[in-house]
Amino acid sequence: MPDLTAKKKRPRWYNLSPLNLPLPGLVSIFHRVSGALLFLGLVWFLFLLDMSVSSEAGFAHFRTYVGHPLVKLALLALLWAYLHHFCAGIRYLFLDIDKGVDLVASRRSSYAVLAVSLALTALLGVKLW
Amino acid sequence: MVKKVVVGAHYGLKDWLAQRVTAIVMAVCTLVFIGALLGGGPLSYASWKALFAKGLFGLMPLLTLLFVVSVLIHAWIGMRDILMDYVKPTWMRLAFQVATILWLVACAGWAARILWRL
């Protein structure tokens, strides 16, 4: 008797690229990535805070330090991480209390999280520099 | 011998709740801090230092304390979740988790030193 299950095998290909994720999935993995970034950036924040409040000279040094283009770029990335983590976190708090859990609403809110955090990063970035 | 069964509906609830409570605390602190920054004039060393030392009618030290403790708890639970998902060998995961705790406690200690010598 021929093996029927063998005939039913189809080629399978899963596209696991993050760019292929639906929006809520993208927001989810960004939440994780931004959280890890913030954890790694924590010690640098402390370094900056320590410098800025240590003395008048430290504050002046802090100003020139954060004026460096590479430092600005890194700070902008961490600013995005903070804002994305903030916005996505608020979305999760609403999902926790069963607000906006249906497909349409959750897609909309994840789009809003991406848009608002990017817009705020741009806004604050322009304002700070 | 007592055997604790680490399964069931309520295992992990405390951490889950702590993650959300600390998130709300930090979110409120962030908004208040941004408000204080926008409300103040142009930044100088004196005003920047005064903001942390006695800003918000003297409530700023309490706010920073709440924030530091919240970061400590929140970052620990978050990092633990990430490590549980991606680091499979038990010894390696434990090593990373211990390193995370030590690192976070050290960071909190530094934050306390910075903020309480003002």
**DSSP string computed for B46-112:** HHHHHHHHHHHHHTHHHHHHHHHHHHHHHHHHHHHHHHHHH--SHHHHHHHHHHHHHHHHHHHHHHH
Shortest Cα distance, chain A CAs vs residue B110, angstroms: 7
Q: Is the pLDDT of residue A1 over 70?
A: no
Nearest CA in chain B to A93: B20
pLDDT tens profile A7-54 = 667 777 777 776 678 889 999 999 999 999 999 999 999 999 999 999
Lowest mean pLDDT among A51-55, A78-82, A124-128: A124-128
Q: Which residues of A touch B71 (CB under 8 A)?
A: 42
pLDDT tens profile A94-119 = 999 998 889 899 999 999 999 999 99
pLDDT of residue B37: 87
| Higher per-residue pLDDT: B45 or B6 | B45
Q: Is the pLDDT of residue A128 over 70?
A: yes
Chain A residues with CB-CB distance to B under 8 A? 32, 35-36, 38-39, 42-43, 46, 49-50, 52-53, 55-56, 59-60, 86, 89-90, 93, 96
Shortest Cα distance, chain A CAs vs residue B43, angstroms: 10
B14-34 average pLDDT score: 94
Q: Is the dihedral of CA B33, B35, B37, B41 positive or negative?
A: negative
- Range 27-56 of B in CB contact (< 8 A) with A: 27, 30, 44-45, 48-49, 52
Selecting from B45, B75, B82 the residue whose C-beta is nearest the C-beta of A59 gives B45
Cα atoms found within 13 Å of the Cα of residue A110, Cβ hemisphere only: 19
Question: Does the beta-carbon distance from B20 to A96 stay under 8 Å?
Answer: yes
B89-96 average pLDDT score: 95
pLDDT of residue B5: 65
Q: pTM for the whole thing?
A: 0.86
Question: Does the beta-carbon distance from A86 to B27 stay under 8 Å?
Answer: yes
pLDDT of residue B118: 78
pLDDT of residue B7: 62
Question: Does the beta-carbon distance from B20 to A53 stay under 8 Å?
Answer: no
Shortest Cα distance, chain B CAs vs residue A59, angstroms: 6
Encoded tokens for B58: 């003297």
Are B26 and B20 a contacting pair, CB within 8 Å?
A: no
pLDDT of residue A3: 63
pLDDT of residue A127: 81
Question: Does the beta-carbon distance from A36 to B82 stay under 8 Å?
Answer: yes
Q: Is the pLDDT of residue B86 over 90?
A: yes
Shortest Cα distance, chain B CAs vs residue A54, angstroms: 8
Residue B14 CB coordination number (10 Å): 10
Chain mean position to CA A99: 22
Q: A124 Cβ partners below 8 Å, 6+ apart?
A: A79, A83
> Chain-wide mean pLDDT for chain B?
90
Are A80 and A34 a contacting pair, CB within 8 Å?
A: yes
User: Would you place residue B41 in the very low, low, confident or very high pLDDT band (cuts 50, 70, 90)?
Assistant: confident
